[in-house]
Every structure is written in C-alpha cells, then in structure tokens.
C-alpha cells in the first residue's frame, strides 16, 4: 500500500507542475493580451470600427494548488501527539 501511495504522490507532483506551468502560460498570455492586443482593439472602438460585441473583463488565474503534507510529516506529527 505504501508503494502505491508513493507512486500516486509522484503522479500528483507531476500534475501540480503541469498545473503551475499552465497557469504561468495563461497569465503570460493574458499579460500580452492586455499590453499589446487590447490597446489596439480600443483604438478600433474609439474610431467607431468595433464590432457589436464588447470585450468583457479578463482575469489572471491566481493562487497556488493546495500542498498536502508528506507521509513523513504526518507520521512525525502523530508521533508528537502521542
């Protein structure tokens, strides 16, 4: 059982790294959109050349994925409580 949990923990570490990378890439794209694309789109609107639809508010993704205690930390904490 312990080996299975260790394997699962390794997979979850990879998922966390993937999520962090995805969030970083998303936020980079949002920053580029805000700095480079939207100013040009606003100029179109100011000239009366915008389409019928408004560009809604866009938000960056924040926060860190939840970090769980390692098995060793849990065992150490349980030992202290006994």
pLDDT band per the 50, 70, 90 thresholds, residue 74: low
Domain ranges of the chain: 1-53
Helices (H) and strands (E) in the chain, counts: 3, 0
pLDDT band per the 50, 70, 90 thresholds, residue 27: very high
Residue 48 has pLDDT above 70, yes or no: yes
Q: How many whole angstroms separate alpha carbon 77 and alpha carbon 69?
A: 10
In the block, residue with structure tokens 């389409």:
51
Residues making up the chain, counted from first to last:
82
pTM for the model stands at 0.63
Q: How many whole angstroms separate alpha carbon 53 and alpha carbon 36?
A: 20
Residue 73 has pLDDT above 90, yes or no: no
Residue 7 has pLDDT above 80, yes or no: yes
DSSP E strand boundaries for 10-79: none
């Amino acid at each position: 059982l312990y080996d299975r949990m260790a394997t699962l923990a390794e997979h979850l570490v990879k998922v966390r790294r993937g999520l962090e990378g995805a969030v970083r890439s998303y936020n980079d794209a949002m920053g580029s959109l805000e700095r480079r694309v939207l100013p040009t789109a606003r100029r179109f609107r100011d000239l009366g050349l915008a389409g019928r639809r408004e560009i809604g508010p866009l938000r960056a993704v924040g926060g860190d994925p939840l970090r769980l205690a390692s098995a060793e930390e849990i065992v150490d904490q349980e030992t202290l409580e006994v």
